[in-house]
């Protein structure tokens, strides 16, 4: 750079002025100074800056959906309700839409078919009212079994009209305020889609060139090649050292250091250990997200109200029916939670981490025997199994007395199958020193021990009791060659929570927390509960007549 260029540059505007222009796509805000002329545009800029920043944070950090409230009630669903036929009550609540806008309802309102927006298959409103509306609805719903999705939409209503007179004596009307409000719509959907879970937005691929590990990725061939070049380089330098011990030792140390740096820098991606989730997946997901926008797409719907019909927040799935006047009206809430997308607040996330929504085992019938160092007397064990005496019918099933579990919440009775439980008896008897295990035949589950509570749904129960095979129990008590007569035995009882669902559709949180068996669970659904104890030898062993079951099994068939 010559002197003339320097002088010419010094006469230009400062770098600060050069980098500034009249456009600011990231969002401009007012800079106040003495003598600044404030216009309506100045205040609009001030207001829009704060609104856009708040909505950006809402959609980027909090997400969208129902935050709380917006509960629903239907006429006839509650005897104390003051709703009239065909009315749907939406209670106060708060939600965020996809653009980060707040949907706030501060009081309960009653909706009817007349004050709902009816959206067609393209999401456009059906404007006709009265008899014409019934004709339009006929095109959507040919029977009351069809379903409709209820959604809440962000809307703006201008209020406070102000009449102004311009200098040219032209009258015009302005509005003093804008009221942010909510409008509701219904749209025909397939009933099978009422409770379809929302798709995951987090997608991870296994590509080796994920962005956050770009600098560290390398193939094994490249690493081997660089290791070979480094080894050849230092072998030549050591050879040139001409048997100088200090120099050779220094070269060897330098070689080891560079070799470790090479391995650390080019370690293959499949050998890296990342925290939960892995930086590769999260980096790939977040860098691929679009910034989004604050573009407001509002449609005039009358009464000075404009609403965004493209970004509704789903609330419920409804059904319509004909009323007494043969007009369509809201009749049934099919599902008040399934269509909703929920915003998970911090306190709710901590509750989910702790598993506050999970069903656990809170009581077991054999609790006095767990973690005890004393051996359980054999007669106590068989009485707990339901045994009374050898005069009973060996072909009958035995409902156990003490082998039952109680749940903290109702569970589905159709998921309580025998395969959810395992009772395993182990013995050390044998010449090869193996501990052999034998599975007790659990043939059924009895669910009548704990009565259902008032609010429990039908076909759900609070407890499960094991039912064991009678032939096995008779043989175990009366036969001399049973393992119980040969020495002490070790009993393990397993409950598999992954196989049992509660009334919320979640599996039972069953596993123990260390030695704390009850209540079960560590905050995650499913897993298994294990409890064990030792049974003393059947004492004194005595010769008894083989049970009818045993006799029948040992009999030799005769020719007919």
Reduced 3-state DSSP string for 404-417: EEEEEEEEEHHHCC
d(CA 50, CA 125): 32
CB 508 within 8 A of CB 359: yes
d(CA 70, CA 554): 70
Q: Looking at per-residue confidence, does 316 or 78 come out higher?
A: 316
- Name every residue whose Cβ is closer than 8 Å to that of residue 296 and which is 6 or more positions away in sequence: 99, 308
pLDDT tens string 186-202: 999 888 888 888 877 77
Mean pLDDT computed over 127-135? 63
Encode 525-554: b = buried (16+ Cβ within 10 Å), e = exposed.
bbbbbebebbbbbbeeeeeeebbebbeeee
d(CA 258, CA 267): 14
- Name every residue whose Cβ is closer than 8 Å to that of residue 500 and which is 6 or more positions away in sequence: 411, 412, 415, 416, 420, 507, 508
DSSP string, 126-182: E---THHHHHHHHHH-SSTT-EEEEEEEEEEEEEEEEEEE-TT--EEEEEEEEEEEE
CA angle 525, 530, 533 (to 5 degrees): 160
At 202 the pLDDT is 73
At 269 the pLDDT is 46
d(CA 168, CA 395): 106
CB 521 within 8 A of CB 531: no
R_g over Cα of the chain: 38
At 179 the pLDDT is 93
Quickly count: other Cβ atoms within 10 Å of residue 177's Cβ.
9
pLDDT tens string 301-342: 887 899 999 999 999 999 988 888 877 888 899 999 889 999
Using pLDDT thresholds of 50, 70 and 90, give the confidence band for residue 136. Answer: low
Out of 3-17, 171-185, 439-453, 458-472, pick the least confident.
Answer: 3-17
The one-character DSSP state at 419 is: G
Does the pLDDT value for residue 543 go beyond 60? no
Does the pLDDT value for residue 496 go beyond 90? yes
At 560 the pLDDT is 33
Pairing status of strand 328-335 against strand 109-111: unpaired
Using pLDDT thresholds of 50, 70 and 90, give the confidence band for residue 169. Answer: low
At 128 the pLDDT is 58
Q: Indicate the average pLDDT of the chain.
A: 80
Q: Rounded to an integer, what is the distance from CA 35 to the centroid of its chain?
A: 56
Using pLDDT thresholds of 50, 70 and 90, give the confidence band for residue 206. Answer: low
d(CA 281, CA 206): 9
Using pLDDT thresholds of 50, 70 and 90, give the confidence band for residue 345. Answer: confident
3-state helix, strand, coil split of the chain in percent (to 5) is 30, 30, 45
Q: What is the largest CA-CA distance in the chain?
A: 127
């Amino acid at each position: 750079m010559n002197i003339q260029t320097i002088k010419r540059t010094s006469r230009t505007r400062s770098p600060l002025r050069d980098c500034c222009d009249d456009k600011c796509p990231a969002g401009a805000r007012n800079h106040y100074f003495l003598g600044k002329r404030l216009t309506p545009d100045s205040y609009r800029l001030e207001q829009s800056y704060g609104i856009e920043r708040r909505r950006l944070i809402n959609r980027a950090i909090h997400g969208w959906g129902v935050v709380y409230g917006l509960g629903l009630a239907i006429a006839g669903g509650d005897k104390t309700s003051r709703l009239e036929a065909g009315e749907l009550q939406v209670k106060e609540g708060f939600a965020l839409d996809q653009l980060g806008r707040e949907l706030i309802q501060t009081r309960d309102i009653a909706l009817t078919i007349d004050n709902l927006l009816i959206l067609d298959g393209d999401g456009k409103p059906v404007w006709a009212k009265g008899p014409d509306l019934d004709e339009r609805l006929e095109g959507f719903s040919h029977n009351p079994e069809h379903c409709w999705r209820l959604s809440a939409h962000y809307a703006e209503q201008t209020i406070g009209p102000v009449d102004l007179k311009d200098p040219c004596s032209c009258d015009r009307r302005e509005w003093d305020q804008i009221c942010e409000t909510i409008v509701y719509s219904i749209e025909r959907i397939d009933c099978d889609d009422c409770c379809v879970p929302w798709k995951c937005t987090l997608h991870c691929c296994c590509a080796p060139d994920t962005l956050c590990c770009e600098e560290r990725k390398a193939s094994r061939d490249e690493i081997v090649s660089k290791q070979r070049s480094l080894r050849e380089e230092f072998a030549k330098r050591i050879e040139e050292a001409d048997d100088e011990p200090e120099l050779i030792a220094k070269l060897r140390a330098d070689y080891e250091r560079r070799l470790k740096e090479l391995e650390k820098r080019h370690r293959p991606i499949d050998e890296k250990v990342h925290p939960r989730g892995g930086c590769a997946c999260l980096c790939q997901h977040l860098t691929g997200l679009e910034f989004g926008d604050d573009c407001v797409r509002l449609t005039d719907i009358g009464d000075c109200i404009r609403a965004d019909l493209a970004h509704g927040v789903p609330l419920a799935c409804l059904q319509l029916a004909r009323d007494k006047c043969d007009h369509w009206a809201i009749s049934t809430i099919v599902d008040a939670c399934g269509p909703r997308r929920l915003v998970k607040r911090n306190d709710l996330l901590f509750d989910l981490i702790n598993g506050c929504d999970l069903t656990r085992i809170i009581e077991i019938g054999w609790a006095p025997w767990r973690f005890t160092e004393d051996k359980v007397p054999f007669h106590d064990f068989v009485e707990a199994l339901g045994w009374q005496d050898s005069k009973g019918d060996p072909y009958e099933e035995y409902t156990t007395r003490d082998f039952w579990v109680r749940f903290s919440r109702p569970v589905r009775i159709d998921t309580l199958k025998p395969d959810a439980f395992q009772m395993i008896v182990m013995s050390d008897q044998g010449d090869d020193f193996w501990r052999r295990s034998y599975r007790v035949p659990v043939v059924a589950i009895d669910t009548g021990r704990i009565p259902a509570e008032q609010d429990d749904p039908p076909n759900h129960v609070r407890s499960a009791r094991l039912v064991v095979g009678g032939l096995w129990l008779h043989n175990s008590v009366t036969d001399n060659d049973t393992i119980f007569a040969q020495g002490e035995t070790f009993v393990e009882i397993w409950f598999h929570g992954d196989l049992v669902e509660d009334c919320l559709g979640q599996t039972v949180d069953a596993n123990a927390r260390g030695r704390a068996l009850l209540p079960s669970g560590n905050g995650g659904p499913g897993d298994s509960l294990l409890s064990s104890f030792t049974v003393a030898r059947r004492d004194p062993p005595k010769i008894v007549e083989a049970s009818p079951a045993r006799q029948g099994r040992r009999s030799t068939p005769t020719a007919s």
